[in-house]
Amino acid sequence: MPKLPALTPQKVINILEKKGFVLSRVKGSHHLFYHPETKCRVVVPVHGRDLPTGTLLEILKQAGVGQEEIEDFYKCRIHSPAKQTSSRNYPRHLWML
């Protein structure tokens, strides 16, 4: 099995949301996600650094995410076209000037 890439909490959250997990609540720096169909709960610590390998493996194991899904997520992110920004993404007072 290839080495697991270092992931930030935001990347893990993106993977969980693609799997159907929904943010349930936030307590401090810990975000609790749950899956409405399987009732599975996963806690993601959101700090300003990459998740430790053991923590990352446990989160992915609890969520049922495999190595292939992580690789597919990265392939989709790398090959997807750049996101177009529009004036709707900015506060009204900035684009009306």
Q: CATH assignment of 9-79?
A: 3.30.920.30
**What local confidence, expressed as pLDDT, does residue 78 receive?**
47
**What local confidence, expressed as pLDDT, does residue 2 receive?**
61
pLDDT tens string 19-32: 999 999 999 999 99
Task: Tell me the C-alpha distance between 68 and 65, whole Å.
Answer: 8
Where in the chain are the domains? 9-79
Through-space distance between the first and last CA atoms of the chain, rounded to whole angstroms: 54
**What local confidence, expressed as pLDDT, does residue 88 receive?**
52
For 71, residues 6+ apart whose C-beta sits below 8 A from its C-beta are 2
Q: Tell me the pLDDT band of 45, cut-offs 50, 70 and 90.
A: very high
CB distance 55 to 13 below 8 Å: no
pLDDT tens string 67-92: 777 777 767 654 444 454 445 555 55
**What local confidence, expressed as pLDDT, does residue 24 receive?**
95
CB distance 33 to 16 below 8 Å: yes
Question: What does DSSP assign to residue 3?
Answer: P
